[in-house]
Structure 1
Amino acid sequence: MTNSVAEVKQADVIFITGSNTTESHPVIGAQVRQAVKNGTKLIVADPREIDLAQDADVFLKIKPGTSIALSNAMLNVIFEEGLEDKTYIEENTEGIEELKKVVQKYTPEMAGEICGVKPEDIRAAARLYGQGVRGSILYCMGITQHHNGTESVMSLSNLALATGNLGKEGTGINPLRGQNNVQGACDMGALPNVMPGYQQVTNAEVINKFEKAWNTKLSNNVGLTIPEVMHKAAHGDVKMIYIFGENPMVSDPDTHHVEEALKNSFVVVQDLFLTETAELADVVLPAASFAEKDGTFVNTERRVQRVRKAVNSQGEAKADWMIFMELMNHLGYDKQYKNVEEIFEEIRQVTPQYAGISYDRIEDIGIQWPCPTEDHPGTKFLHTGKPARGAGLFMAVEHVESSELGNEEYPLILTTGRILYQYHTRTMTGKTEGINQMAPESYIEMHPNLAVSLGITNGETVKVKSPRGEVRTKAKVTKIVDENVVFMPFHYFEGAANVLTNGTDLDKYCKIPGLKVTGVKVVKIIAR
């Protein structure tokens, strides 16, 4: 997040898109509702009439995969009506002319056709956001998990830059992280193209720095993303996969392909429980839970926080850092750590954003990076004064429809997501009786008119098919989706949504799969 969570209450307008915030991020969702209660205007864009739609001043029930068209149309109105921040654009940005050329054709009428919403609602949203003094954009994987997810984020960045909603409190472009330490994992270089602190692996100076710090030779080649790993493993080009705290047999697209990849590789799984993925592993390394170890987590607002051991581990389980250290020792890298604080001190030495953070400083409350020195208070919001790159770069991007659409055999659009009562792949929540009473099984939401046309009743078991496979699940008849859109939560192994999704239609920049748009058909099961 460019800004802090609590700052949503200082915004005078919030634009939420691609995020079912009250269910996926309920603490942030509660703060959004507090802001609205205190007078903040709210715009919500989502393919489903999520709970926050009831609180919104403008709700745009957009067709899945059309976010870029919506952002471009909002910019069209903002420029047409002179709502842009001309001074901020002139002093802090570049590329405005090219952007204006592209968005000029995205009239509310044109975008309304693409998105499936009324042109006047697009105008209303643009005016609300454009007239706001402090506008905050909140988004999640409904924006990023598309074949053009990176460009969808760019289109939101264009909105913020054009209206000067960057570098001050209550504003910003704020991605909401899906799990508790996603931010920390990325900070530590758990991405194929960077070292810790987002230092590029292709930069010779960066590699030289880490080779000296770690006293070993390092590759400067960009690695593979998860979909690329699975593809190459299925074809025999990746021989071994080490899976740490993930359950791709439920969470990753095209489950049959994932299973093929895992069965074709030597698989090590490090996890708390014997997950669906761990059942296919050659070796399982039992890991300790968060309550059984010391360390740090980094939350969605970049806050580095202490985690303290509360109970002893069960059985043979060990803290992750101990497993990694022992493994690298066996592989010939003889580095010994006494405790997690010693590891954190090494992190500080090689990661500029963390240089000023120490265990003593985060004893009581965490610090938000960047924190370059020990007398620095941390950074509440980014891009103060000017964007970090010197000039904010407008990126003129076009709406491009997913290849999943337009298939007569699979005419419905499946989109997936989370629900309040289950967490990720149910590795932990699936073992809790009370939670499973509230949300016990997979289901597919469908509009009443669609259900009638297919002869399907609420609660009936149906078959859902895509080019990747088919599953059985329960029908949930509801008007919160449009007639040609269906929704499934991805949490469940039985009736798994990701059996259906596409793992090959990848974003050209970051290679994320287009999980949020899948062509499917729903079939009534005829008793024989």
Structure 2
Amino acid sequence: MAGLAATLGSGAMTNTIGCIEKADVILVTGSNTTENHPVLSAFVKRAVEFKGARLIVVDPRRIKLAGFAHQWLRPNLGTDVAWINGMMHVIIKENLYDKTFVENRTTGFQELKAVVEKYTPEYVAEITGIPAQSIIDAARMYAGAKAGSILYCMGITQHTTGTDNVKSLAHLSMLCGNMGIEGGGVNPLRGQNNVQGACDMGGLPNVFTGYQPVNNADAVKKMEDAWGVSGLSDKIGLKVTEMLPKAHDGELKSLYIIGENPLVSDPDLNHAEKCISNLDFLVVQDIFMTETTRLADVVLPSACFAEKEGTFSNTERRVQRVRKAVNPPGEAWDDWKITCEIATRMGYPMSYESSEAIFEELSKLTPSYGGITYDRIEEEGIHWPCPTADHPGTPILHSGQFPIGRGIFFAIDYIPPAEKADDEYPVYLTTGRVIYQYHTGTMTRKTDGLNDRAPGSFVEISPQDAEKYGLADGDLVNVESRRGNITARVNFSDKAVEGTVFIPFHFAEAAANKLTNAALDPVSGIPEYKVCAVKLSKAA
């Protein structure tokens, strides 16, 4: 979200899911929407099939949504800034941009214009592999829309240039005046059901609730007064991807992990395991035993979503009630109750009696949630910001002005991925999900019906590469990177492009993240899960 926050002043989906059906043109990039967000993908398909929307899909794989697209652009991995700059080059050169919006609501246009000048369609084609005419056609289609919606997911963010990728998409939207309007905007599709809510609640190392900076004196004072404490730290903490290297070096002694399974989800897993093994003390709090609990000194059983009360804030900023259906099993507790009990035993009693009481406190301390109560969202959710009790919520952001005043155009150049294919490791690997499993499989792999559909890992490969390496569909293949190796079954697919393979990351027994590169985006700290170099060989 760092890219949107820097460019627009708010790191969240600008529009609603329903707005997708109001778009004239929808640009989907870095999102295998039908598999990762199947419900939301129905809005895209309905907009195209029944509402007359035109669809541009930009993805290295022939994902299912490409079959609905009016234009499918197939870029080389890690070249997003280049093709976006190429589209903006065409839009500016052909005078297709929204001059009124650019003049009245943005700053930095001349800097943007200067940097994209060299990104001619021909130059972009050399970098991305996208034909020059396809860049021109896509630019004209998007710029010609009365309302153009951009949808993106982790195929954009999980790069060393992820923040630049997101900024560039925001630039494209602003350039065409697609901010603050129904059917427009830049819309990140969050990877889990309450990722947005976790961020809203301060689940980041640099902010309190509602993105109030921890190094802002007024925000610190507000929290100290509310909690009856003094001396709250104003220092920005470590990102997740910064913690394990600190553990490896002995600077981080203990770790408390809640609802996370880094020994399947982190990059360069062999190194990650060494880092975690070097801790003096590890606590893991989760609903099931995981690969990470294997190394824990203490495991705390927690309640799942159906066993507790609370709220989720979904990808469109809609705050919704979650209601308890059944009691937690055994000794499992709500996460907030575990936190309160630990705090009390450490000498700081937390006397909250319910999740609603906690929500009431955060509403008082968080301007964007200030007008939201359990009563107001009993039947229907509310989109933040909702600052007062009589405020209806804000389905569409930035309709008047941006939180930072004017949207900012940055001069951004294309930077290649951290690791390139070479003679030793000649094939590119990209990773992701399949529809029948979820993240590290902690929940879904305990479900027989889902395991029947997706029983194990596979290497999605083009028929051309399979022939080159002497592989038949269903063969076992060794995949090796500079960091590790795995063995999985070959899966012939027309989704794959020659020279690139895809492996889902759900399966611990053939963990794709043993191969991935821990190179990080310098701003967000997100690893480059989407590009690394590997070599293939037929398993004996």
Same fold (TM over 0.5): yes
Equivalent residue for 2:533?
519
> What residue is the counterpart of 2:74 in the other structure?
61
1:326-361 deviations in Å (ceiling 9; x for gaps):
011111111211111110010011111000000110
**Does residue 115 in structure 1 map to residue 167 in structure 2?**
no
CA distance in 2, matches of 1:367, 1:344: 14
Deviations 1:155-210 (A, max 9, x none): 00110010000011110000000001100000011111111110111111111111
Distance in 1 between residues matched to 2:421 and 2:427, nearest whole Å = 9
State which of 176, 197, 210 in structure 1 corresponds to 2:223: 210
User: Structure 1, residues 59-89: CA drift from partner, whole Å, max 9, x if none?
Assistant: 0111111111010000001011111000100
Write the distance in 1 (CA, Å) between the matches of 2:411 and 2:29. 19
Cα distance in 1, alignment partners of residues 495 and 306 from structure 2: 38
Q: Is the 8 A contact 2:421 2:428 kept in 1?
A: no
Q: Residues of 2 paired with 1:406 and 1:202: CA distance?
A: 41
Aligned to 2:486: 471
Q: Deviations over 1:377-399 (max 9, x none)?
A: 00011001222211110111111
Task: Give the Cα separation in 2 of the matches to 1:319 and 1:446.
Answer: 43
- Local SS of the residue matching 1:300: coil
Are the aligned partners of 1:167 and 1:387 in contact in 2 as well (CA < 8 Å)?
Answer: no
**Residue 14 (1) aligns with residue 29 (2):** no
State the distance in 2 between where 1:291 and 1:448 align.
44
1:446 aligns with 2:446: no
What one-letter code is carried by the residue in structure 2 that aligns with 1:458? D
Give yes or no for the alignment of 1:432 onto 2:444: no
Displacement of 1:408 in angstroms is 2.4
Structure 1 unmatched runs, 5+: none
Q: Does 1:234 align with 2:239?
A: no
Q: Which amino acid aligns with 1:516?
A: K
Partner residue of 1:307?
322
Amino acid at match of 2:498: E
Aligned-partner residue type, residue 18 of structure 2: A
- 2:203 corresponds in structure 1 to 190
Instruction: Provide the secondary structure at the position in 2 that maps to 1:326.
Output: helix
Tell me how far apart the structure 2 counterparts of residues 460 and 404 of structure 1 sit (CA, whole Å).
Answer: 27
- Tell me which residue corresponds to 2:16: 4
Equivalent-residue separation in structure 1 for 2:473 and 2:410 (angstroms): 45
| C-alpha distance in 2 between matches for 1:24 and 1:11 | 21
1:85-484 → structure 2 map (5 Å cutoff): 85-216=98-229, 217-265=231-279, 266-484=281-499
The alpha carbon displacement at 1:413 in A equals: 1.1
State the alpha-carbon separation in 1 of the partners of residues 510 and 106 from structure 2.
48
Q: Judge conservation of contact 2:437–2:444 (CA < 8 Å) in 1.
A: yes
Which deviates more, 62-71 or 205-214?
Answer: 205-214
Shift of 1:417: 0.8
Q: Is the 8 A contact 1:76 1:106 kept in 2?
A: yes
Secondary structure at the counterpart of residue 194 of structure 1: coil
Structure 1 residue 406: deviation in Å? 4.2
Secondary structure of 1:169 counterpart = coil
**Residue 40 in structure 1 maps to residue 58 in structure 2:** no
The one-letter code of the counterpart of 1:455 is: G
Q: Residue 28 of structure 1 corresponds to which residue in structure 2?
A: 40
Distance 1:479 1:339 in 2: 52
Per-residue deviation, residues 102-161 of structure 1 (Å, max 9, x unmatched): 101011111111111111111111011000010000000000000010000000011001
Quick one: distance in 2 between partners of 1:331 and 1:259?
29
C-alpha distance in 2 between matches for 1:250 and 1:50:
24
Structure 1 residue 299, shift from structure 2 partner: 0.4
Identity percentage of aligned residues = 54
* Whole-angstrom CA distance in 1 between matches of 2:221 and 2:364: 14
Alignment partner of 1:237: what SS? coil
Q: In 2, are the aligned partners of 1:286 and 1:318 still within 8 Å (CA)?
A: yes
Give distance in 1, aligned partners of 2:355 and 2:214: 25
What secondary structure sits across from 2:111 in the alignment?
helix
State the secondary structure of the residue aligned to 2:528: coil
CA-CA distance at 1:8 after TM superposition: 0.2
TM superposition score normalised by structure 2: 0.96
Unaligned runs of 5+ in 2: 1-12
CA distance in 1: counterparts of 2:402 and 2:192, whole angstroms: 27
Q: Which moved more, 1:212-221 or 1:124-133?
A: 212-221
**What SS does the corresponding residue of 1:35 show, helix, strand or coil?**
helix
- State the distance in 1 between where 2:178 and 2:201 align: 29
Could you tell me how far apart the structure 2 residues matched to 1:34 and 1:327 are?
49
Deviations 1:208-232 (A, max 9, x none): 1111111222111111111110111
Amino acid at match of 1:9: E
Task: Name the SS for the 1:219 alignment partner.
Answer: coil
3-state secondary structure, aligned to 2:39: helix
Structure 2 equivalent of residue 486 of structure 1: 501
Q: How far did 1:480 drift?
A: 1.6
Range that drifts further, 470-479 or 28-37? 470-479
